[in-house]
Amino acid sequence: MKGQVFAIVLIIVSGVATYVMLISTMNSLNQTRDRFYLEYGFAEVFASLKRAPEDLKTQISKIPGVEHVETRVVADVKLDIPGFDEPVTGRLVSVPDHGKPLLNKLHIRKGRSVEPLREDEVVVSETFAEAHKMSLGDRFGAVINGRWKTLVVVGTALSPEFVLQVRPGAISPDFKRYAVLWMGREALGTAYDMKGAFNDVLLTLSPAAKTSEVLIQLDGLLARYGGLGSYERKDQMSHRFLTEEFRQLERSSKVFPLIFVAVAVFLLNVVINRTIQIQREQIAILKAFGYSHLDIGFHYFQMVLLVVLFGVAGGIGVGVWFGKGLGNIYMEFYRFPYLIYELEWNVVMTAVLINLGSALLGTFHSLRKASMLPPAEAMRPEPPARYRKTIIEHLRLWHLLSQPARIIFRNIERRPIKSCLSIAGIALACAILIAAIFWKDAVDFMVEVQFKLSQKEDLAVTFVEPTSRKAIYELNGLKGVQYAEPYRSVPAKFRFEHRSYRTVIRGIESGSRLHSLLNTDLKPVELPPEGIVLTDYLGTLLGIQPGDQLTIEVLEGARPVRQVPVVGLINQYIGVMGYMDMNALNVLMREDSAISGANLMVDPLHQTDLYKKLIQMPRVVGAVVREDEIRNFYETQAEAFLFFTFIATLLAGTIAFGVVYNSARITLSERSRELASLRVLGYTRAEISYILLGELGLFTLVAIPLGLVGGRVICTYLAATMGSDLFRIPVVVYPATYSLAATVVVVSAFLSSLIVRHRLDHLDLVAVLKTKE
Amino acid sequence: MSRSPIERQIESSPIDGKIVFKIKGLTKVYGMGEIMVHALRGVDLDFYSSELVVLLGPSGSGKSTLLNILGGLDTATSGQVTYRERDLTRANEHDLTEYRRFHVGFVFQFYNLIPSLTALENVAVVTEIATHPMKPEDALKIVGLGERLHHFPAQLSGGEQQRVAIARAIAKNPEVLLCDEPTGALDLATGVVVLEALERVNRELGTTTVIITHNSGIADMADRVVHLSNGLISEVVQHTVKKRPGELQW
Ligand SMILES: Nc1ncnc2c1ncn2[C@@H]1O[C@H](COP(=O)(O)OP(=O)(O)OP(=O)(O)O)[C@@H](O)[C@H]1O
Ligand SMILES: [Mg+2]
């Protein structure tokens, strides 16, 4: 009994630990984020624009509901880091020369903030400084508005605005190739011709303010100045990513622990049932001595209580431990000045209540039966088990089965519910593992689709502003460029009925070789010469179908507003946007063949030289090397993948082990007499092990395919609930994941059978035969 | 000319009066440390081929202990037991299993049938692994249960279950049949039916049979009666006339 109780406690521990780990990590990150935002004045409304005079600030602050206004200059730059050959881009953000910023304040980690009016001083984001092992006083080159400049690092910092530091359009943070830099307002303004002007504005609102009203008014004010559309905090990049991550944690914290609770309750029920069965006579004697129904019921209730409390206590301990581990992994990505790790009381209470509640619900029937058992009946042995011929005996095959095999089948069929639940338990172990690690497969697949099937360029180059198509010739002329293909990218707000979404329209040349649009079967589709094609998820968000007219408000240049028919929906896992034929987009913009950038195919031999050249080209603001991006992605995620795979394997192993071990022990306890008889008749140890463990082997064999399918179902559910406009998770499970899950289950089942086998080998034949059945 | 399976069995079973078990100075001590129980204190005894021996003795005298050692279920503390040419006292676990599998049939007070198998299948459990078994149906016919082949133990009476147990014990054509209080849980009339089955097996198949009982009346059906007392043989009685089970009185 001890072993079985231990196995159940272990499963409860696993369930509670998973729950505590996920929930406490989420709560901690959430609290940390809220506190960081509050302390460092994270803005509530954001807007970028082309250029507006500082006077506009007064008008903005008069918008009803606006509390504070902060204007800034923000610019994208190319960096040249000594000793690092790959292209690096950065975002330069101004800080006021006098006094601290009101909003999005910096948390200085090392050194100091910039001194007023110093043109060469910058504060560097901590992640970037760490990635390049920069120290205070280090220098590096930057191309600021086309002019080469040497900058000095005077400090490193964190900001609520860049908790997650992701380059716009990238799939994951890249600490090496993307930097956030802070520079004095005056110096930056001078460099970008923004003296007495700004191109970025932050607001906080009074509690009573209606955000949507403020956004409309702000957009109204900024429209003449090239406003790119204001947005509220929930659409801010870093904040969005955090929110999505919290949502995933929360979702997982509901799915996974539930599975553990279900399995634990099932096993608890089986064990309590068996205990009561074995202790029938004791119950009868106690009752004969005058113990009441309630006393007996309470005795077994205490057992359940003890198991659950031990499990929950252990689970909280392990969960806090895991939670801190997970928290630290998150802190690698999410830069907060501190992490508030705090286990909330309600988390503990929820764990206790859910586990205890389900345990009591699950064992209620057995407890009731035990407490109601009349003493006289309890004295009599349990009536003999009734066996029937099984359904499969009608098959011809039955006659070929050996007697031990028949024993296995008859026992399985005598307790169909228990058998099914055992199978379900093992299957869940398999499923849980798949569901916990499938997202690595999904991400692999996303990357594969996005960067091998869809975006096939080696290098993507962005221009400072829309440029004549002739720029392509210049690029093509560079040594190492094998092929260059232009693209146009236009920020726009899409409207359909009452729904709207701010994103970009990408113009692609017809017959593009480097950018394919994919349908749901991932087959390339031709981009029609007229109309717009939308990412299918965007179609759903806007509730728009091919054939409908989409209203497009362009947020660049002359800011035309146009009606364009939607001519198709395409599949894309990362981001959402619209695609148009480049000519059609140029026509829509009333411009001559302007381009925003180019995709290049590059000769690897001349790669490094090419990067150097690109840095020097004033028109080019940024260059992204696909391969680097993908490699970085895997590097940053590797540790997290490992952590999850490790924990999931541990947990799934626990379930499989627990279910198999418990079933084996119960069967052994119920059938030890029968097995001893067979030993007396001359059956070998291996042969009787076959009878006992064959049943479990069969369960495992049946459970694995069910578990694989079940795992996929859970993946589908998780993927469906976690999808957002940032990314959609494809339901892809690679064979390696299936086989890992199956292997973990088989190994755990095997290990637990070894333990049971050990007991079987030490069966005391004589003792068993001496006692009455 | 068709012969019954039983007749065929008779021809193949040697009734030669040879020694089956040779027991010399057998002792068995249970327990280690402070409390030692001397269950057998030096038993010398031979069993002969085809004889029917009844073991009598007060409770705790060591009957079951002796039988279990003969059947390879337990090991001796000292002394020697040989079965034919085999030294059972030196046999390892694997040898003993093989010995039980091919040479010995057991019948216990509690029938120890497999509840999930029918009468026929309970017998087949043994015939499946034996080298020269009879057909399970034939074994059940010998004990008079030819009509109840497909009933599960729970559907049979105690006596019927014990007869299935006997059929199972003899189905492998064992050389020895060891019975520990086979009628202990049965009433008189049922007990007689069971004893008749045992007697018939002994007579027709020539199986060396050892029966433990507390009922001295049963002793009258034996070739020899061995009395045990306090771990020693106190008396051996050779019968010249045997009674049929139906004639026994107790
Ligand atoms: N496993 C054991 N451990 C300790 N002592 C034992 C064990 N088995 C038997 N004994 C002791 O050995 C002695 C002989 O036991 P055994 O079972 O052989 O007696 P028996 O003659 O068969 O008695 P009964 O007629 O009551 O069945 C007894 O004193 C018994 O208590
Ligand atoms: Mg006895």
Scanning A40-115, the segments in alpha helix (DSSP H) are 56-61
Say if B149 is an interface residue toward chain A (CB within 8 Å): no
pLDDT at A107: 94
Calculate what percentage of chain A has a pLDDT beyond 90. Answer: 44
pLDDT at A93: 96
Number of neighbours of residue A397 by Cβ within 10 angstroms: 9
Nearest to A244 by CA among A32, A252, A715, A203: A252
For chains A and B, what is the number of CB pairs under 8 angstroms?
82
CA distance A622 to A21: 40
Mean pLDDT throughout A687-705?
90
Report the residue count for chain B.
250
Mean pLDDT throughout A638-652?
81
CA A332 from chain centre, in angstroms, equals 15
pLDDT at B250: 66
Say if B68 is an interface residue toward chain A (CB within 8 Å): yes
Lowest mean pLDDT among A436-440, A534-538, A749-753: A436-440
Express each pLDDT in A70-92 by its tens digit.
999 999 999 999 988 888 999 99
Going from N- to C-terminal start, the domains of chain B cover: 5-245
- Which is more confidently placed, A333 or A51? A51
Report angle CA A448, A451, A454 to the nearest 5 degrees.
100
User: Residue A513: is its pLDDT beyond 80?
Assistant: yes
Which contiguous run of DSSP H or E holds residue B26? Answer: strand B19-30
A408 to chain B: nearest residue by CA? B116
pLDDT at A44: 96
Residue nearest to atom 20 of ligand 1 (CA): B60
Nearest to A79 by CA among A111, A122, A130: A122
Number of neighbours of residue A482 by Cβ within 10 angstroms: 11
pLDDT < 50 regions, chain B: 1-15
Please answer yes or no on whether A769 and B108 come within 8 Å at the CB atom: yes
pLDDT at A167: 84
C-alpha B39 to ligand 1 mean position (Å) = 6
pLDDT at B7: 39
pLDDT at A599: 93
- Which is more confidently placed, A134 or A380? A134
Mean pLDDT throughout A45-59?
94
Q: Please report where in the chains the tokens 């148009």 appear, as a residue.
A: A580
User: Residue A585: is its pLDDT beyond 70?
Assistant: yes
The interface predicted TM-score of the complex, written ipTM, equals: 0.88
User: Residue A382: is its pLDDT beyond 70?
Assistant: no
Please answer yes or no on whether A403 and B121 come within 8 Å at the CB atom: yes
Report angle CA A323, A329, A332 to the nearest 5 degrees.
145
Q: Please report where in the chains the tokens 């029966």 appear, as a residue.
A: B211
A499-508 vs A578-581, strand pairing mode: parallel
Residue nearest to atom 29 of ligand 1 (CA): B60
User: Residue A52: is its pLDDT beyond 90?
Assistant: yes
CATH top-level class of B5-245: alpha beta
CA distance B151 to A387: 10
Say if B141 is an interface residue toward chain A (CB within 8 Å): no
pLDDT at A763: 82
CA distance A632 to A569: 30
**Sequence-distant (≥ 6) Cβ neighbours of residue A464 within 8 angstroms:** A146, A618, A619, A620, A621
Express each pLDDT in A448-506 by its tens digit.
888 888 888 998 999 988 899 888 998 998 988 999 999 999 999 999 999 999 999 99
B30 lines ligand 1 (CB under 6 A): yes
Express each pLDDT in A626-635 by its tens digit.
888 888 878 7
A107-111 vs A147-158, strand pairing mode: antiparallel
Please answer yes or no on whether B110 and A385 come within 8 Å at the CB atom: no
> How confident is the prediction for chain A on average, in pLDDT?
89
Q: At B135, is the secondary structure helix, strand, or coil? A: coil
B231 lines ligand 1 (CB under 6 A): no
Complete DSSP assignment for A529-581 = SSSEEEEHHHHHHHT--TTSEEEEEE-STT--EEEEEEEEEEB-SB---EEEE
Mean pLDDT throughout A286-302?
84
User: Residue A605: is its pLDDT beyond 80?
Assistant: yes
Residue B67 CA: nearest ligand 1 atom is 18
Sorting pLDDT into bands at 50, 70 and 90, what band is A541?
Answer: very high
Q: Are A692 and A756 in contact (CB under 8 A)?
A: yes
| CA A276 vs CA A2, A198, A273, A295, A768: distances in Å | 15, 78, 5, 14, 20
Sheet holding A197-205, edge to edge: A66-72, A197-205, A45-53, A231-232
CA distance B237 to B223: 8
pLDDT at A665: 85
Pocket test for ligand 1, best of B27, B32, B37, B227 (most atoms within 8 A of CB): B37
Nearest to A215 by CA among A293, A506, A223, A207: A223
Mean pLDDT throughout A373-401?
73
